[in-house]
Amino acid sequence: MEKSAVSHSITWRHPVAVKSVDIIGTTAYAVSGTPADCTSLGISKALFPSIPDLVISGINKGSNCGYHIVYSGTVAGAREAFFNGVPSISMSYDWVEGKSNVEDYVLGAEACLPLINGLVGDIKNKCYPTGCFLNIDLPTDIVNHKGYKMTKQGKSNFSMGWRKVSSEIEGYNIQSNMSTDLDASLSSESNELTTKQGHVLFEREVLSSNSTFFYLKLPILLFGIASVYSAYASLHYRCFFLYL
């Protein structure tokens, strides 16, 4: 289910639906809620008998660095674990339309394995740093990445605006990688207000980007993020729970 830009929102007024699914023989569940809901449920012992040693949120379709983490649900999935004292990682891939493909997610996962293994070692040795979680941003050309670099939170951002539309069909959907999908609005979740007469409709639009600092970087960037912001942007959200 599309859950881009839901930030750290949670489901409060009604139950979430949970369904068992098969992912290569792994014990897995599909959850109707937000990314934060998925993490919260997964570490609550309501689904699994014990609390995981590590939560991995992602891989997100689209970069999540700079101020993007404020809107990112992928980052929120990791933050929710952090709030509850569980080590966590959020992972995002700088998807470029016409250049990237689904196989890049496999490459991204493989590129992150050394980092995950390192964190697992720190957790086992009880030297995992508290007070933060890790946000990993993968470059578009993963195969030719220049290694790993620990850096600080930046200020890259998209300038957003609004445009008036006459119907949901006329509007478009902004994807998690900040591109637009002209067909996505046809299958998007309906808003009750838009079906009533007398309401005026507005769609978000991307005006400009000041993201030159991060998007020109080729190494895999690692951001240590404190618990100060809310966030989301994942097209097909996945949250993995690792037990040691």
Domains of the chain: 18-155+211-242 (3.40.1210.10), 158-209 (no CATH)
Q: How many CB atoms lie within 10 A of CB 184?
A: 15
Residue 166: what pLDDT?
82
C-alpha–C-alpha distance, residues 162 and 82, integer Å: 34
Residue 195: what pLDDT?
52
The token pair that represents 57 in the structure block? 């949120």
Q: pTM higher than 0.95, yes or no?
A: no
Pick from 52, 20, 74: which is nearest to 236 by CA?
74
Residues of the chain where predicted confidence (pLDDT) is lower than 70: 1-4, 168-197, 209-244
| Residue whose pair of structure tokens reads 């700088």 in the numeric block | 94
